[in-house]
């Protein structure tokens, strides 16, 4: 708010501007936005610099007030704590040749963490062995939150959603804490194979309307492998690398071996291609996908599954 006055009368100010002054290493960028009333439709906004002031408004009327919002965006790969001052100033046109500079400041302490580095799982792969009688099975794992990461809220869901059951779908971990054992259940109808648990995180103070941070990355995937030692069909492996390097003509595909251990009869099998299609949406080339499907067989049904007779050797 412009509370300035001269000789007892409120006065207008000109050239409202701001800059940031770091007290140590610069670890990100501040953005200052001004609003009139509700925080929607900014009147002015500027990404602040440390070397010079950025203009926000040409004029601030006497007794005029604004709502201000400061946003901070850390640099990629940056962790740690830093202090900064946001300096806001304006000019008072004086009768003398020299304008009067009126300034104020806001102190900020920033603690930057990478949630993907804060959260860890007790197991890389959760292995579930199905019971021969009940045809069901379970296993467990824990989640740890590294010290100095602050409180983190986690959201867990199975991938695909109707395949395995998770005992906890939401939990909150304090700084440096480890969760209780989280149970993962494979029911009678769960086919042997590999599934996933998607984990998303929300840091303390993060608005619920903001997008959650996904922890599913190449080095953070929590895999669930359902194993049935008594099943007739056994797959040699569950993960495939179909990266296609344009410079290498003979790559871009992978293979596995599907064996029938019920020697007394032939067996039918079906390959569910849904996971491969989801991978395609996330960047897998359709050419590589088509190659992989072609290796599996000569026809696909409408649900992207492949059915074939597997004969005994």
Query: In this structure, are 169 and 204 located in the same domain?
Result: yes
Domain end call among 112, 132, 148: 112
User: Can you give the pLDDT at residue 300?
Assistant: 32
Residue 265 C-alpha from the chain's centroid:
47
Q: How many domains does the chain have?
A: 3
Domain end call among 54, 88, 112: 112
Mean pLDDT over the full length of the chain? 79
User: Can you give the pLDDT at residue 285?
Assistant: 35
Q: Is the pTM of this model over 0.75?
A: no
Separation CA 302–CA 279 (nearest Å): 18
- Residue 290, SS3 per DSSP: helix
- Taking 80 as the threshold, does the pLDDT of residue 313 lie above it? no
Domain end call among 175, 194, 227: 227
Of residues 25 and 265, more confidently modeled: 25
- Where residue 219 falls (left for φ over 0; alpha for ψ -120 to 50; beta otherwise) is alpha
Query: In this structure, are 61 and 94 located in the same domain?
Result: yes
> Bridge-partner residues for 71, per DSSP?
31
Split at pLDDT 50, 70, 90, the class of 277 is: very low
Query: In this structure, are 201 and 277 located in the same domain?
Result: no
Separation CA 68–CA 173 (nearest Å): 32
Lowest mean pLDDT, pick from 17-21, 136-140, 259-263: 259-263
Residue 136 C-alpha from the chain's centroid:
32
In this structure, the number of other CB atoms found within 10 A of the CB of residue 17 comes to 19
Query: In this structure, are 141 and 201 located in the same domain?
Result: yes
Query: In this structure, are 19 and 81 located in the same domain?
Result: yes
**pLDDT digits 0-9 by tens, 127-151:** 999 988 888 999 999 999 988 888 8
Split at pLDDT 50, 70, 90, the class of 287 is: very low
Q: Pairing relation of β-strands 222-227 and 125-129?
A: parallel
Query: In this structure, are 52 and 20 located in the same domain?
Result: yes
Split at pLDDT 50, 70, 90, the class of 181 is: very high
What tokens does 185 get?
Answer: 């259940």
**pLDDT digits 0-9 by tens, 50-103:** 999 999 999 999 999 999 999 998 888 777 888 999 999 999 987 776 788 999
Separation CA 230–CA 176 (nearest Å): 41
What tokens does 276 get?
Answer: 């491969």
Query: In this structure, are 53 and 105 located in the same domain?
Result: yes
Q: What is the CATH number of the domain that holds 120?
A: 2.60.40.10
Q: Which domain holds residue 250?
A: 233-310
Question: Cβ distance 242 to 254 under 8 Å?
Answer: yes
Residue 58's nearest CA partner among 94, 98, 20, 12 is 12
**DSSP H or E run through 203:** strand 193-203
User: Can you give the pLDDT at residue 150?
Assistant: 84
- Residue 86, SS3 per DSSP: strand
Q: Using a pLDDT cut of 90, give the percent of the chain over it.
A: 35
What tokens does 285 get?
Answer: 């080339």
- Residue 26, SS3 per DSSP: coil
Query: In this structure, are 198 and 272 located in the same domain?
Result: no
Query: In this structure, are 65 and 164 located in the same domain?
Result: no
Query: In this structure, are 292 and 219 located in the same domain?
Result: no
Residue 287 C-alpha from the chain's centroid:
28
Query: In this structure, are 258 and 212 located in the same domain?
Result: no
Q: Summarize the confidence of residues 242-261 as an average pLDDT.
A: 79
What tokens does 257 get?
Answer: 């071996």
DSSP 191: P
């Amino acid at each position: 708010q412009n509370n300035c006055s001269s000789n007892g009368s409120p006065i207008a100010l000109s050239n409202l501007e701001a800059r940031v002054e770091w007290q140590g290493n610069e670890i990100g960028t501040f953005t200052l936005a001004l609003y009139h009333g509700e925080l929607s439709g900014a009147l002015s906004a500027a990404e602040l610099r440390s070397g010079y002031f950025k203009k926000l408004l040409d004029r601030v009327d006497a007794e005029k007030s604004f709502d201000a919002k400061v946003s901070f965006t850390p640099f990629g790969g940056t962790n740690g704590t830093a202090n900064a001052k946001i300096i806001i100033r304006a000019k008072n046109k004086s009768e003398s040749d020299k304008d009067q500079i009126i300034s104020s400041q806001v102190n900020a302490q920033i603690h930057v963490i990478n949630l993907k580095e804060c959260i860890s799982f007790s197991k890389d792969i959760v292995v579930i062995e199905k019971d021969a009688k009940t045809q069901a099975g379970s296993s467990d794992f824990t989640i740890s939150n590294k010290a100095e990461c602050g409180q983190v809220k986690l959201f867990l869901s199975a991938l695909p959603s109707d395949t395995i059951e998770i005992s906890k779908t939401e939990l909150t971990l304090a700084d440096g804490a480890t969760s209780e054992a989280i149970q993962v259940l494979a029911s009678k109808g769960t086919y042997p194979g590999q599934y996933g648990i998607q984990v998303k995180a929300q840091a303390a103070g993060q608005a619920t309307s903001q997008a959650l941070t996904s922890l599913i990355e190449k080095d953070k995937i929590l895999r669930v492998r359902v194993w049935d030692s008594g099943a007739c069909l056994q797959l040699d492996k569950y993960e495939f690398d179909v990266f296609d390097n344009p410079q290498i003509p003979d790559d871009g595909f992978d293979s596995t071996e599907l064996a029938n251990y019920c020697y007394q009869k032939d067996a039918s099998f079906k390959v569910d291609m849904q996971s491969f299609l989801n991978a395609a949406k996330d960047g897998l080339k359709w050419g590589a996908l088509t190659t992989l499907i072609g290796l599996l067989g000569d026809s696909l049904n409408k649900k992207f599954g492949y059915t074939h007779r597997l004969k005994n050797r």
